[in-house]
């Protein structure tokens, strides 16, 4: 049976505000994360991702008050990442309302963290985020908000994290981030040959056609984007309507105010 394709807005949070940049730089303000999260849930987003993008570099814990506020406002699943380096921090986030937690730099530093988290909460809760950049004919893994090149081969790393217990991967092309030039289809085609867990593709979304290409030419199940949603370039209802013509996209009826009614099945 074919699976549903998911539309996933990403909220990069810095100092309590949603921000967006290009190639992980040139950051600009995009609004209040709690208000945006509620707006996207009402618009029909399938899931949300909230990333505290400065948590690792500033060596501080993730933003539990924002997680609690988002959980109180939305009725769709959401993943939280940024500065998660222990089972205790992950447990606090899940108790605050997050459905899944995402690890990136901390998993590179200590890969056994993935196994510890999966053993504690189940692989279905564990998303490993991987920031990649093309180097010659391959891709390398970057950490600390894209600021450090680990030198690790990205395809080898994704195979390893899945073997350690990752239940889902969030793979961001740093080259495509904020450029609106399309997803890194060549990488995802290679990745899908190596692993069987769901992949969320991030970096490069700029048109509805980019999502159509992603979902029709790869087995990726999640398409993540930020600026095109934050700045109203592609409304989520319009995107899902177009995609539903050729693939399995969840759509929800609207109420008298134009907000979507959610139910899970």
User: Token pair of 24, please?
Assistant: 């992980």
More confident residue, 75 or 252: 75
Give mean pLDDT, residues 147-176. Answer: 96
Q: Which two tokens stand for residue 4?
A: 């549903």
Chain segment 162-181, per-residue pLDDT in tens:
999 999 999 999 999 888 99
Question: What's residue 258's pLDDT?
Answer: 47
The CA distance from 127 to 103, in Å, is 7
Q: Which residues of 243-254 are buried (b: 16+ CB within 10 A; e: fewer)?
A: beeeeebbebee
Q: CB of 42 within 8 A of CB of 260?
A: yes
Q: Which of 42, 46, 52, 131 is catalytic?
A: 131
pLDDT tens for 188-218 read 999 999 999 999 999 999 999 999 999 999 9
Confidence (pLDDT) at 32:
86
| 3-class secondary-structure state, position 76 | coil
Burial class (CB in 10 A: 0-12, 13-18, 19+), 234: buried
Is 12 an active-site residue?
yes
Give residue 29's pLDDT band: very low, low, confident or very high (50, 70, 90).
Answer: low
Q: How far apart are CA 2 and CA 220, in angstroms?
A: 12
Q: Is the pLDDT of residue 159 over 90?
A: yes
Q: How far apart are CA 239 and CA 128, in angstroms?
A: 26
Tokens of 96: 């605050």
**Average pLDDT in the chain:** 88
pLDDT value, residue 146: 79
DSSP letter (8 states) at residue 258: S
pLDDT of residue 145: 73
Give 119-141 pLDDT, tens digit per residue: 999 999 999 999 999 998 899 99
pTM above 0.85, yes or no: yes
Please provide the size of the chain in residues: 265
Q: Per-residue confidence at 31, pLDDT binned at 50, 70, 90?
A: confident
Judge whether 149 counts as a catalytic residue: no
Residue of 133 and 264 predicted with greater confidence: 133
Reply yes or no on whether the pLDDT at 256 is more than 60.
no
Report yes or no: 100 and 77 within 8 Å, Cβ to Cβ.
yes
| Reported confidence tier of residue 46, pLDDT bands at 50, 70, 90 | very high
């Amino acid at each position: 049976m074919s699976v549903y394709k998911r539309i996933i807005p990403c909220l990069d949070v810095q100092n309590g505000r949603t921000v967006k940049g290009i190639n992980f730089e040139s950051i600009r303000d995009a609004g209040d994360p709690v208000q945006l999260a509620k707006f996207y849930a009402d618009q029909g987003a399938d899931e949300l991702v909230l990333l505290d993008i400065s948590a690792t570099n500033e060596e501080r814990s993730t933003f539990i008050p924002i997680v609690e506020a988002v959980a109180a406002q939305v009725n769709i699943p959401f993943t939280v990442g940024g500065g998660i380096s222990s089972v205790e921090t992950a447990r606090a986030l899940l108790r605050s309302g997050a459905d899944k937690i995402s690890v990136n730099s901390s998993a590179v530093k200590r890969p056994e963290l993935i196994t510890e988290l999966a053993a504690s909460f189940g692989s279905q809760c564990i998303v490993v985020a991987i920031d990649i950049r093309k180097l010659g004919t391959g891709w390398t893994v970057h950490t600390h908000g894209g600021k450090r090149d680990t030198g690790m081969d990205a395809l080898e790393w994704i195979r390893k994290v899945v073997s350690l217990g990752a239940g889902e991967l969030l793979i961001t092309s740093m080259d495509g981030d904020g450029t609106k030039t399309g997803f890194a289809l060549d990488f995802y085609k290679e990745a899908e040959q190596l692993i069987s867990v769901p992949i969320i593709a991030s970096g490069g979304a700029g048109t509805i056609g980019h999502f159509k290409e992603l979902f029709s030419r790869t087995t990726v199940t999640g398409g993540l984007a930020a600026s095109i949603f934050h700045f109203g370039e592609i409304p989520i209802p319009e995107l899902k309507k177009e995609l539903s013509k050729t693939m399995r996209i969840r759509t929800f009826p609207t109420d008298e105010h134009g907000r979507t009614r959610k139910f899970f099945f």
